[in-house]
Amino acid sequence: MVCIVCGNTKTAGLASWHATCPACHYESAALSVAINEHTGPAVNEAEREAGLKALRLENFRAIVQYAKRHARPGGRSLLDVGSAHGWFLETARDDFDVLGVEPDAVVGSRAAARGLPVRAGFFPDVLKEGECFDVIVFNDVIEHIPDIGSALEACRQRLNPDGILILNLPSSRGFFYRLSKLIARVGWRTPFERLWQKDLPSPHVHYFSPDNLSKLVANRGFELVDSAELPALRAKGLRERLKCAGNVPLLSLWVQYVAIMCAIPVLRVFPSDIIVCIFLKKTAG
Ligand SMILES: [Zn+2]
């Protein structure tokens, strides 16, 4: 029960599987990862895709801008770890020579069938010997990887000199996450479990804040060069997103839609649930 960021002893959290560090506020979950085993409830992939796409694409466009700003001049090779449907590869391929790695065989082959350069398997196992990149991106992936230390070490090895690592992930300082914890404390755990993706094939095992994430990554040979919040809710595609929740009556759907549209300007005041941090590989010695 040692905190992977600061080495303090973690304390019990809001569920039997949840723990927090009282010193740096890093949070972890003892939830097991079972990609390709297809246990857990079936997610309607097509609906999920439509619902998330508009928000994701807007955020991906922002991340490509960060990559262009911080990559070394002329640095064009980009690796997308956990490239899923290939949307980030599509967004980045005008500016970079992209490659995706995707552990979910079904999802990966569908993206490859659309002509995207995707290798099936896990990072860094599927890379060739000596294959290095100017940019490595993890979009909603790093929070799923139990041995994050080894993943970061592999990033160091697979980045060219002056290479950058971009981590896009949920934030424990986010408004919705903190709201879900408040609600869990009074006895309703569903939103909290949903944000951890409990019972899905690949749940979250970490929840970081910008501060403790920077500390963890900086201790492993990187330097934080930029960080930003990305909107967790956008008006674009919201109706499709709400429909994905499943069998919801139409009236309830509209009530939710109007409530969220009104809440979007208010929410801008609070920390967002999505952050992006850009790290530069430190030169050894
Ligand atoms: Zn800690």
Q: For 11-281, which CATH class? A: alpha beta
- For residue 36, the model assigns a pLDDT of 60
What pLDDT, on the 0 to 100 scale, is given for residue 242?
A: 72
Query: Are 278 and 162 within 8 A, CB to CB?
Result: no
Distance 3 CA to ligand 1 centre (A): 5
- 10 Cα–ligand 1 center, Å: 7
Ligand 1 centre to CA of 211 (Å) is 11
3-state secondary structure of 35: coil
Measure 64 CA to ligand 1 centroid, in angstroms: 31
* CA–CA separation, 120 and 249 (whole Å): 39
Distance 254 CA to ligand 1 centre (A): 42
Range of lowest pLDDT (34-38, 97-101, 259-263): 34-38
pLDDT of residue 125: 96
Average pLDDT over residues 271-285: 90
Per-chain mean pLDDT for the chain = 89
In contact, 259 and 251? CB cutoff 8 Å: no
**pLDDT above 70 for 257:** yes
Judge whether residue 48 has pLDDT over 70. Answer: no
CA–centroid distance, residue 171 to ligand 1 (Å):
15
pLDDT at 285: 52
Q: Over 60: is that where the pLDDT of 44 sits?
A: no
Output the pLDDT for position 55: 80
- The secondary structure of 80-127 as a DSSP string is EET-TTSHHHHHHTTTSEEEEEES-HHHHHHHHHTT--EEES-TTTTS
Model confidence at 41, in pLDDT bands (50, 70, 90)? very low
Query: How many angstroms does the Cα of residue 5 sit away from the middle of ligand 1?
Result: 5
Q: List the chain domain ranges.
A: 11-281
Residue 25 confidence (pLDDT) above 50: yes
Mean pLDDT of the region 105-125? 94
**Residue 73 clears pLDDT 50, i.e. is over it:** yes
Residues 6+ apart with CB under 8 A from 276: 59, 62, 63, 66, 166, 167, 168, 227, 228, 229, 230
Please give the pLDDT value at position 40.
40
- Other C-beta atoms closer than 10 Å to the C-beta of 278 total 24
Quick one: tokens of 13?
A: 């959290």
Instruction: Average the pLDDT over 18-24 and give the result.
Output: 97
Q: Distance, CA 11 to ligand 1 centroid (Å)?
A: 10
Ligand 1 midpoint to CA 26 (Å): 5
Residue written as token pair 């993943």: 151
CA 18 – ligand 1 centroid, Å = 14
Which residues contact residue 207 at a Cβ distance below 8 angstroms, ignoring those fewer than 6 apart? 26, 27, 28, 29, 143, 170, 171, 172, 177, 196
Contacts of 255 (CB under 8 A, 6+ apart): none
Q: Mean pLDDT over residues 259-285, rounded?
A: 86
Residue range 181-222, pLDDT digits in tens: 999 999 999 999 999 999 888 899 999 999 999 999 999 999
CA of 272 to the centre of ligand 1 (A): 22
pTM of the model: 0.89
DSSP 195-221: HTTTTSSS---EEB-HHHHHHHHHTTT
Report the amino acid identity of residue 143. E
